[in-house]
Each structure stands twice: as C-alpha cells, then as structure tokens.
Amino acid sequence: MTILGIETSCDETASAICKDGKIISSVISQQIIHSTYGGVVPELASREHEILLNRVVYKTIEEAKIELSSLDAISVTQGPGLNGTLLTGISFAKGLGLGLGIPVIPVNHLEGHIFSNFIADPSLKFPFVCLLVSGGHTQLWFIEHFENYTLLGETRDDAAGEAFDKGARILGLGYPGGPAIEKASSGGDPSKIKFPRSLLGKNNLEFSFSGLKTSLLYYVDSLTELQNETKKDITASYQQAIIDVLVEKLRRAINYTKTETCVIAGGVASNRVLRKCLTETLIGKSIVFPELKFCTDNGAMISYLGELKLKSNKYSSLSFSAKPNLKL
Ligand code: KG4
Ligand code: ZN
C-alpha cells in the first residue's frame, strides 16, 4: 500500500510517502517566518502552509519516484494543533483525495509521534511505555497495542518543550528554544545552579515545569549582567532540571507497568543530553528513540499511521474536520 501523509498541525509543512511500512520519501519545510516573533503566529502559519503545501507534496511525490495515481490513500493530521493550520492541511488532503478518488484518513498527531518509533525500529514490540515530550504535551503512556493506550501521567501546566521555548526566550536565545538551549549549554556545568525539580514525591507520575521557568526568570533578573560563560552554565543547569524529571518519571512508569521496553517521542526527544541520560539510567531496558529527523513534526509518522489505519479499515468519510483539542 502507498500512503501520502500530510502534517500541518503547527509550523512545519510536511508530507511523506509510506509504502508497505517503509518511508520512501519525506519532505519537511520549517517555517522560518516565526523566529522574528519568538513563537508561532497562528495566522501566519496557516498562510505559509497554504503557500508551501503544493510544493512540499509535489517534491515528496517526485522524490518517491511514483505517480499520484499509484496512491492508495491520503492520511492527514486532524489534531491536536492550531485550528487554522490543521484546516489548511485537511482541505488540501480532501481536495486531492476527492480528485484521485481515494480515502482520506484523519490521524491523531500524538499517536503519530508515538508510532514514529516503529519507523526507527520496525522490530519494536508491544507493550511499551512512551514518554511523549513535545511543545504542547508531556505525557507518559502505556501502549498495550495498536489503539489500546492508557495515560499514566501528564503535565499539570507547561509541556517540556514549552519549558525549553520559554526558557530560551528569557535568555534571549530565539525560537525554537529546545535546539537553542541544547547548543548554548554545550560545555556548561549542569550542576552549577540548583533549579527546582517538581513533583518528585513518591509514586507521582505527573509533571510541572512552570515553577522552573519562574525560577529561571528570577535567577536571570538577579544578575547584573549575563556573560557568555555564565549563560553556558545557566542553560546547562536549566536543561538538566528538565531532563532529570523526565528521566525519573519514565523510570517510575517502567517500574509501575513492569515493562522492559520504552520509547521517546516528540520534539524534545531529539535532545542529545536527554538521550544520554536515559541510556545511562535505564540500564537493562530496551530504549527506542525516533530518528532525529522524525522527532519534531513530520509527515512520515502521519503516513505510517495512515497505512495502519487503512489496513484495519479504521477511517472515516470525508465529513471529518479539524479537532484542535483532539485527545488520544
Ligand atoms: O513535536 P514537536 O515538533 O511539535 C509539537 O508537537 O509540539 O515539538 C516541538 C518542541 C519545541 O518546544 C522545541 O523547542 C522542542 O520540541 N525541541 C527540543 C529540541 N528540538 C526541538 N527540545 C529540546 N532539545 C531539542 N534538541
Ligand atoms: Zn508534534
């Protein structure tokens, strides 16, 4: 089966082709327009998708060396995400699907992130625990089987990616904050400043990052000037405070569910320090990370999941619409 996946939930215009479980092409265009504003401007993002979608999809088809007529279905992100940007992708997918006379399958973006791990490791077996860490979500899931998922815990306030983005803004590092903080922290001392680690009480599987962000703000305000050397240590310490909590909560979730395998998903999964800390802590467990290019938003995860949904006949008619608050 050959599926075209389209992703426009936020500021990446992306599409990919999945053929019999393998990604044969993937194009991601990150909208740079938002960096000037320090965050995603929803209206601008929708307009950019409108401009970029046709080109991105055309390139994806070209790179896959297939004809449009060989597509069996189109899958598209239904939510969660920004209403306007989701609608842009859905309208495009429906138009193309109608024209080609093939099904259009709505896909949950979060489920897509989780399943991006099967692209990295096709031998991945159920059940497993997933730490889903993106710009909008920080959740721990027990993934028993395809479409059988239990939420073990999530953040009470900011998501981990949001903590990176807001921290970067406080430090004047630009957007997106995660890669900027990771880069700026290189060579810094992660134990220099004692930032808080929240909700570490016994058995707690929830997260909270808003206190950490406030604590960074107060710390930076207390300095007379922010020198580069100091900045290295601040970013390294701030990043470590986020990572310590993520690692500890995942460790607990694995113990609680008595699972041997865990996967990481979402944009924050591309953080190399997080990957290193997880590998060093979860000794004896099998840990799967998505490929770096498939951690942040991409069309590959949407096309991969689209194929699974098509195979299981789990798709609706063209009457579906965007669901900005779609839950898993
Ligand atoms: O999954 P994603 O692309 O979009 C959402 O679904 O939200 O995740 C984006 C988030 C942003 O908050 C970004 O700062 C963060 O992932 N991120 C990172 C890194 N790369 C992206 N956070 C930490 N370290 C990184 N290297
Ligand atoms: Zn995402």
Question: What pLDDT, in 10s, does the model give residues 54-104?
Answer: 999 999 999 999 999 999 999 999 999 999 999 999 999 999 999 999 999
User: What tens digit of pLDDT does each residue of 293-322 get?
Assistant: 999 999 999 999 999 999 998 777 789 999
Residue ID of nearest Cα to ligand 1 atom 14: 178
Which ligand 1 atom is the nearest neighbour of the CA of 113?
Answer: 1
Q: Is the pLDDT of residue 140 over 80?
A: yes
| Buried/exposed 120-142: b ≥16 CB within 10 Å, e otherwise | eeeebeebbbbbbbbbbbbbbbb
Q: How far apart are CA 309 and CA 315, in angstroms?
A: 6
In testing the pocket of ligand 1, which one of 268, 271, 301 has its CB within 8 Å of the most ligand atoms? 268
Nearest ligand atom owner, CA of 137: 1
Which ligand 1 atom is the nearest neighbour of the CA of 297?
Answer: 3
Which ligand 1 atom is the nearest neighbour of the CA of 162?
Answer: 12
- pLDDT for 36: 82
In testing the pocket of ligand 1, which one of 35, 111, 132, 134 has its CB within 8 Å of the most ligand atoms? 134
Which ligand 1 atom is the nearest neighbour of the CA of 137?
Answer: 7
Residue ID of nearest Cα to ligand 1 atom 22: 178
Residue ID of nearest Cα to ligand 1 atom 7: 135
Q: Is 84 left (phi over 0), alpha (psi -120 to 50) or beta?
A: alpha
Higher pLDDT, 128 or 315: 128
CA of 224 to the centre of ligand 1 (A): 31
Q: How far apart are CA 37 and CA 6, in angstroms?
A: 26
| Secondary structure percentages of the chain, helix, strand, coil, to 5 | 45, 20, 35
User: What tens digit of pLDDT does each residue of 8-47 get?
Assistant: 999 999 999 999 999 999 999 988 888 888 788 999 999 9
Q: How far apart are CA 149 and CA 314, in angstroms?
A: 16
Which ligand 1 atom is the nearest neighbour of the CA of 168?
Answer: 14
CA of 222 to the centre of ligand 1 (A): 28
Give the tokens for residue 265.
């998903």
If you count DSSP H runs as helices and E runs as strands, how many of each does the chain have, helices first? 9, 10
Q: Which residue type does 217 have?
A: L
Q: 217 near 263, Cβ under 8 Å? A: no
Q: Read out DSSP for 59-92?
A: HHHHHHT--GGG--EEEEEEESS-HHHHHHHHHH
Beta-ladder partners of 140: 131, 153
When pLDDT is averaged across residues 247-261 and rounded to a whole number, the result is: 98
Q: Is the pLDDT of residue 226 over 90?
A: no
Q: Which residues line ligand 1 (CB under 6 A)?
A: 10, 134-136, 161, 164-165, 176-179, 182, 266-268, 270-271, 296-297
CA of 122 to the centre of ligand 1 (A): 24
When pLDDT is averaged across residues 207-231 and rounded to a whole number, the result is: 92
Which ligand 1 atom is the nearest neighbour of the CA of 110?
Answer: 6
CA of 177 to the centre of ligand 1 (A): 8
Q: How far apart are CA 134 and CA 230, in angstroms?
A: 27
Instruction: Compute CA distances 321 → 109, 160, 177, 254, 317, whole Å.
Output: 14, 28, 31, 36, 10
Q: Helix 83-100 to helix 42-64 angle, to the nearest 10 degrees?
A: 30
Q: Is the pLDDT of residue 279 over 90?
A: yes
User: What tens digit of pLDDT does each residue of 148-180 get?
Assistant: 999 999 999 999 999 999 999 999 998 899 999
> What average pLDDT is seen over the chain?
96
| Buried/exposed 220-259: b ≥16 CB within 10 Å, e otherwise | beeeeeeeeeebbbbbbbbbbbbbbbbbbbbbbbbeebeb
Per-residue 3-state assignment (H helix, E strand, C coil) for 225-287 = CCCHHHHHHHHHHHHHHHHHHHHHHHHHHHHHHCCCEEEEECHHHHCHHHHHHHHHHCCCCEE
